[in-house]
Structure 1
């Protein structure tokens, strides 16, 4: 008979079988987890629990973890951890079910929970401080509810958290600097609230890929540093002011930057046009006054789409943008640009698809003080081939029958002369 380090194999197998039988005999849900599940159901407004809904099927006459996906517990939870004391809940999902009520009085004592998703409901009240009792939580989804009050400090204690979604609620107050303790965080989505105050520096979060705090009331200037791992930074529709920091070029993996609908002033730094990975730059609806040209004339730019519309930018159209090899969408509408349309733009609208240099598929230049003749290359374009708008300028002969002049007549000669007397 074989042996395992001197231990008879047959006896070893018997002991393994006995252990498995013991675990199976004690596989009922841990009593602490059952208590939390009961508190959740009791906290939800019974009027919002339809008989056939997920939460409506929770029947505690049977064991939850032994009845997952049965007619008694048709959904909502998952149990992956089995201990001698009983099975532990690792996922709890009640998203998009229309439930209402307050969850602030629940003791969230679920130490093995890894995912909690309550998005798309009508839950009210404060976000529970007792979420600190979820030490293994990796994903927290509270989006699209009616949670109010401030962000609880206890969120900073969730050291295993990777994804945090609390967007589209009624939260107020500051974004917590204690978020710097969330070292494993990859996504931070707080958009669509009423959060205010300065945005904290989160440069210690070396795994953070996405920050979206759009549609809040965040004020002050941008912090000097952001996590180098960022891929997307969206802070549109806030009350941010000051200069756009050139240090954003240090965020080397950044692909999407949206700072539109704020109060930024000064220049658009050249470093954004030489950024090694930036593909989408949206700075519309600010108070920017100038564009700084890059030293390489933009020939190494990775930008695909640039929107600088609705600012106060003066001067000639930045010709270097016509040399940016990947740029296919450019909006400079409603600024104070003047002069003639650069030859670089005229060439770029006529490029054929498939070439190494991208064609302008979208070129919006309306609402400025451009003058002179329309480039001949534009006259050969067919409607539908590209999207171009030259309306509301000072261009010579831009009749509405030309599709790129449609949508807005040219300014009157009086308006043009009032802006710059040398306009012919």
Structure 2
């Protein structure tokens, strides 16, 4: 029994020594990709002491992570074959320049690739689709051009994709529907065109930002039910807001400003159970649908409908929404008097009701006197803009009326004979 124990111990010692040796071996294919990445970078952009400057391929990358060589930007894990593979490359914010086109990506164990905030140029290599285990792909804020490869839609383990702030062109690939566990997609600040594809197969997508592009056409007929934030400002989207958008129960932020949307603002937007911020400014909406009494459970904190073509009286229900503290209806074509509900919410909101801290009504055709409660407000206590209307006695010396003199009587009466 004693002999067996000693032999077993010797065997385990030898096995453990081999295991340690295997753990420090970086696969040759991984080293090749790292070499290609370093060779693709302009040597003049590699500053002494930087991550890339420390990459010395005369030694094993995975065995020198704690030393002076390969000091940062790489993480190695152990796979089932006891051979170390690169699982993370992070070169964020080093101002490296060069072309990614010369890199053939072949790192099947890579889970994170983040080379954001650099000066990399060229198109996105098709070989990025070889990163079959990648979970986070960060290429933000570079100088990348060309189209987005549809093959990226095969990265079934991808959870975060950042392509924003580049010069990418063409459409957002329909193949992105293959990214079943994607949680965040950011492609803002590019030159993307075409319609936003239907991405309703992305059942885990929480954040979608396609702002600052040239996306056109109408909004998709359906959206992922899991969306928390939808941002599409500064595009060329037309048409109405589809009913599918007003049925997203987890949605907290909608920003569709600076587009060409028209029709009515749906009442159901004001009753979404989780929505806190609604921004539809700089569009062509002509009216607002009343939500009835369902608005009493609204979670909205901020609403911006400024710079549209909305006519009619100011909606009274805004003054009764329990959490609403910021409302901008500036530069529309509202007429009539300022509702008493607005003044009371600003001065005497009531128990459990948020006060109006921002009430922006300038640039309309509102008439009549300023509600008495508003005259009791002190400068600096809240933000109120009533300028450029048809209000009776709204001098510039009154802080409520700053931001523009009232329209002339001729202009006010030309808009509607009801204005006295």
TM-score (norm 1): 0.96
**Residues 224 and 60 (structure 1), Cα distance of their counterparts in 2 relative to 1, 3 Å cut:** same
Q: Within 5 A, what are the aligned runs for 1:382-397? A: 382-397=378-393
Q: 8 Å contact 1:319–1:345 — kept in the other structure?
A: yes
Aligned with residue 55 of structure 2, among 55, 58, 78: 58
**Residues 419 and 16 (structure 1), Cα distance of their counterparts in 2 relative to 1, 3 Å cut:** farther
Does structure 1 residue 403 correspond to structure 2 residue 388?
no
Secondary structure of 1:404's counterpart equals helix
Give a deviation string over 1:191-233, Cα, whole Å, max 9, x none. Answer: 0000000101111111000000000000000111101100000
Give a deviation string over 1:375-394, Cα, whole Å, max 9, x none. Answer: 00000001111100000000
Secondary structure of 1:299's counterpart equals helix
Q: 8 Å contact 1:132–1:158 — kept in the other structure?
A: yes
Q: Within 5 A, what are the aligned runs for 1:10-409? A: 15-26=11-22, 27-82=24-79, 84=81, 86-296=83-293, 298-351=295-348, 355-409=351-405
Q: 8 Å contact 1:99–1:123 — kept in the other structure?
A: yes
Partners in 1 of 2:374 and 2:272 — Cα distance?
A: 30
Secondary structure of 2:319's counterpart equals helix
Per the TM alignment, residue 292 of structure 1 is displaced from its structure 2 partner at its CA by: 0.1
Partners in 2 of 1:188 and 1:120 — Cα distance?
A: 17
Per the TM alignment, residue 17 of structure 1 is displaced from its structure 2 partner at its CA by: 3.8
Per the TM alignment, residue 132 of structure 1 is displaced from its structure 2 partner at its CA by: 1.1
Aligned with residue 408 of structure 2, among 396, 409, 412: 412
Per the TM alignment, residue 295 of structure 1 is displaced from its structure 2 partner at its CA by: 2.0
**Residues 162 and 361 (structure 1), Cα distance of their counterparts in 2 relative to 1, 3 Å cut:** same
Partners in 2 of 1:85 and 1:346 — Cα distance?
A: 71
Q: 8 Å contact 2:150–2:174 — kept in the other structure?
A: no
Partners in 1 of 2:193 and 2:19 — Cα distance?
A: 51
Partners in 2 of 1:325 and 1:375 — Cα distance?
A: 21
**Residues 164 and 415 (structure 1), Cα distance of their counterparts in 2 relative to 1, 3 Å cut:** same
Partners in 2 of 1:174 and 1:263 — Cα distance?
A: 19
Give a deviation string over 1:269-310, Cα, whole Å, max 9, x none. Answer: 000011111110000000000000002162121111000000
**Residues 390 and 14 (structure 1), Cα distance of their counterparts in 2 relative to 1, 3 Å cut:** farther
Partners in 2 of 1:266 and 1:116 — Cα distance?
A: 43
Per the TM alignment, residue 60 of structure 1 is displaced from its structure 2 partner at its CA by: 1.0
Secondary structure of 1:400's counterpart equals coil
Return 5+ residue gaps in structure 2 as ranges. Answer: none
Secondary structure of 2:410's counterpart equals helix
Q: 8 Å contact 1:138–1:163 — kept in the other structure?
A: yes
Q: 8 Å contact 1:81–1:90 — kept in the other structure?
A: no
Q: Which has the higher helix share?
A: 2
Per the TM alignment, residue 246 of structure 1 is displaced from its structure 2 partner at its CA by: 2.4
Aligned residues: 418
